[in-house]
Structure 1
Amino acid sequence: MGNSASHITKQVLRWGTALLPDPLYLALSHRRRIGRFPRIKDPATFNEMILARCLHPDPRWKDLADKLSVRTYVRDRIGEKYLIPLIAAPDLFTREIFEFLPSSFVMKASHGSGFVEVVRDKSRTSFEALQRRAEEWLGIDYSRVARERHYRGIRPRIFFEKLLLDKTGRVPADLKMHVFGRGPDGPIIYTGIIADRFGDARADIYDAHWNRLELAWGSYRRSECALPRPSNWDTLTRIAMQLAEGLGYVRVDLYAPDDEVYFGELTFTPGGGTMPYTPDRCDYEWGRILKQAHYPAA
């Protein structure tokens, strides 16, 4: 009876939360994760500005947040060679599609974040297992998950990409490049590196000159020591700036296995405006940088 009552309570709370209007839902989510109620109408912190973006998205973001349609934008901006090879993007995932897939691949969905299934050996999974996962993803209205409104109207689709591995056989680290624009000393970029994402995940943040910041975000633990600067860092910076040009602030996600460069995604509302930063002053510092990027001094 106890477990049943607990389950019912959780269901009632979930349904009640789903009925909350977006501004109230976001305010409560921010209070729960950050520890204070946000000033959405007069934002000062980075997270508060991201919340405002969730509620008032730029119309361009919809197509650029679509994991399939953004490929055209990337191809036009920086070239086909930076796109992860696309294996299939079927209208319907069928057993025939599964049989067609190579022995290793990555399954993703077009309409949200976190829809990633890494398959290193197809013989160790099944069509039925992947179909269940695909149906689960396709049934999610991602614009309601964190109330990021620019995801509304994105057509949910399943697609398959080549599995990227570095020379050690590992999935390469995510380079999450927060591009704020260009300042007097060059590009203003803060890069979050998530290493061993599907294992013992660790995360660190570096500035544009590859100095590691005394900063942690979310629930990730920091690495014991700083990573060496990528040998192709100048190329990564150039590509991130090219993709961000004309869009204002955007997080450009890239992969750089063995000096190659591949595009991941563009993210306009990272963390949904509820990402804890430690120490908390970073939230205010990035907020000042973002405001300065929007309203540069005369």
Structure 2
Amino acid sequence: MGRFRSAAVRHLSDARYIGLAYRREFGKFPDLKQPVAFNEKICRRRIMPNADFTALSDRVQARAHVGRKIGKQFLPECYLICKVLDREQYHALPHRFLMKASHGSNAELCVEDKSDYPVNLLNLLGQKWLATDFHLFERIRYYQKIDPQLIFEQLPQESMDEPAQEYRFYCFHGNGAGPRIYIEAVHRGATGSFHDYYDTDWQSIEVIESRFTSGIHRQRPAMLDDALEAAAGLSEGFGFARIDFYIGENQIRFKDISFTPGEGMMHFKTPAHDRAWGKLFEDAV
């Protein structure tokens, strides 16, 4: 029965698949023809993407874009890009690194100690990632044309013992005005992840359901102003884009550009919050 259900889901159109997932999450179908709420607009982007989304969602091509747009100083060091990791390449990698796939947002592995991950193990995982059709599982059409590759980068850390903090910048461009930006601070711990939201003055704002937040007001990042300027630059030209950085005391490192964060399934505090964010960018793409 499970295999039959899986096969049936595979044959659903993207719009039907997304509609059913949305109804399961929120109890109603999204309006994909005339979207108003933020989640609806993000869902529509999954099936009607901007032509530029593919290149900027390709983690290899995105590095080149970041270097051109805001400068190479924002990029983590890249050790290797390949499809198969051979033993010579493996031995040349540093003791600690981040391994990720170019074509899927969830395909990442933080390697703190290379001796725990022999080359055969990394290749098994890497080949599993490269063989995965992330469009099929996430129904995001602009993933289809990304060339699957493995990327080995500098591990995002503030120090040897302290990981760098991840911040996500929700950048809205609408009505010809300058960008409106909200910041999500991500906190990962033994009990899961928490997501706290702030405005550009670093005042806490209520956006999502409280069960997803920590309830703690975090210290303002020392390099927040520089990160805001970089996020505004990278998101320029789009009604909305989320720019993700790792921020430490003395550095900012690019992580990702996302055009469909949460896949359009964010649990806003109220439907009014969902609609308010939807009004901040004019079009569905």
Larger deviation, residues 178-187 vs 62-71: 178-187
Contact 2:223 2:248 in 1 (8 A): no
Change in 2 beyond 3 A, CA 1:168/1:91: closer
Alignment match, 1:238: 229
SS of the aligned residue for 1:81 comes to helix
C-alpha deviation, 1:275, in angstroms: 2.4
Contact 1:34 1:275 in 2 (8 A): no
C-alpha deviation, 1:227, in angstroms: 0.6
Alignment match, 1:11: 3
Contact 1:33 1:275 in 2 (8 A): no
Match of 1:192 among 166, 181, 184: 184
SS of the aligned residue for 2:172 comes to strand
Match of 2:257 among 251, 266, 274: 266
Q: What does 1:7-46 correspond to in 2, within 5 Å?
A: 9-46=1-38
SS of the aligned residue for 1:163 comes to coil
Matched residues, number: 284
Contact 2:221 2:248 in 1 (8 A): no
Q: What does 1:40-55 correspond to in 2, within 5 Å?
A: 40-55=32-47
Contact 1:187 1:208 in 2 (8 A): no
Q: CA RMSD in A?
A: 2.2
Q: Deviations over 1:185-211 (max 9, x none)?
A: 964111111122687422111122211
How far apart in 1 are the matches of 2:239 and 2:269? 25
Larger deviation, residues 278-287 vs 238-247: 278-287
Match of 1:137 among 105, 129, 139: 129
How far apart in 2 are the matches of 1:131 and 1:215? 40
Alignment match, 1:248: 239
SS of the aligned residue for 2:181 comes to strand
- Report the residue type matching 1:68 in the other structure: V
- Report the residue type matching 2:108 in the other structure: V
Contact 2:173 2:179 in 1 (8 A): yes
C-alpha deviation, 1:258, in angstroms: 1.8
Match of 1:115 among 59, 84, 107: 107
Alignment match, 2:168: 176
Alignment match, 1:102: 94
- Report the residue type matching 2:104 in the other structure: G
Contact 1:203 1:220 in 2 (8 A): no
Contact 1:174 1:194 in 2 (8 A): yes
Q: TM-score, normalised by structure 2?
A: 0.93
SS of the aligned residue for 1:144 comes to helix
Q: Hey, which bits of structure 1, 4+ residues long, moved more than 4 A?
A: 182-186, 197-200
How far apart in 1 are the matches of 2:137 and 2:271? 25
SS of the aligned residue for 2:157 comes to coil
Which 5+ residue runs of structure 2 have no aligned equivalent? none
Alignment of 1:62 with 2:50, yes or no, is: no
How far apart in 2 are the matches of 1:180 and 1:274? 18
Alignment match, 1:225: 216
Alignment match, 1:4: none
How far apart in 2 are the matches of 1:18 and 1:220? 32
- Report the residue type matching 1:70 in the other structure: A
Q: Deviations over 1:35-64 (max 9, x none)?
A: 221111011110101111111111111110
How far apart in 2 are the matches of 1:200 and 1:147? 26
Alignment match, 2:72: 80
How far apart in 2 are the matches of 1:66 and 1:198? 30
Q: Deviations over 1:54-104 (max 9, x none)?
A: 111111111100000111111111111110100111242222222221110
Contact 2:31 2:40 in 1 (8 A): yes
